């Protein structure tokens, strides 16, 4: 991935997060319904990997990391993966390509592990 694409993606992500932070300053997802119910949860009774993501984001914005992880651990894993991918893009030069590849692999492993936990393990724990 080119550095310009990473910078553009990072800028877009920051803009979306700023807009979400402004929105969540006046809306509490714990007391009001922001989005319609999850169709996967409604049809199967199982939480999809994204279930709880809005509440996790809101909790994280308010500094409650423990509650954020409890709502959806995938959110923090995605933030960590974004940081690793950004570091990978910065480190990927001819001299540092191995470090960049290792950081990218770590990001992928982190997201896969958190995704499997969010999709399978937390549903089995709730059952």
- Quote the pLDDT of residue 43: 92
Residue 101 or 59, more confident: 59
- Quote the pLDDT of residue 97: 74
Put simply, whether the predicted model's pTM sits higher than 0.85 gets the answer: no
- Quote the pLDDT of residue 122: 81
Residue 5 or 45, more confident: 45
Instruction: Tell me which residue range forms the domain holding 30.
Output: 3-126
Q: Is the pLDDT of residue 110 over 80?
A: yes
For the chain, what is the largest distance between any 2 Cα atoms, rounded to a whole number of angstroms? 52
Q: What angle do CA 76, 79, 85 make, to 5 degrees?
A: 140
CA distance 106 to 102: 6
The rounded radius of gyration (Å) of the Cα atoms in the chain is: 17
Structural domain count of the chain: 1
């Amino acid at each position: 991935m080119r550095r310009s694409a990473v910078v553009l993606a990072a800028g877009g992500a920051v803009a979306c997060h700023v807009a979400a932070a402004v929105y969540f300053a006046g809306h509490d997802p714990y007391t009001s319904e922001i989005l319609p119910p999850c169709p996967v949860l409604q049809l199967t009774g199982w939480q999809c990997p994204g279930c709880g993501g809005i509440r996790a984001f809101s909790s994280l914005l308010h500094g409650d990391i423990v509650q954020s992880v409890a709502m959806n651990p995938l959110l923090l894993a995605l933030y960590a993966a974004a940081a690793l991918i950004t570091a990978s893009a910065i480190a990927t030069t001819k001299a540092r390509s191995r470090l960049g590849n290792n950081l990218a692999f770590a990001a992928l492993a982190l997201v896969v592990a958190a995704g499997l936990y969010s999709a399978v393990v937390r549903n089995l724990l709730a059952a």
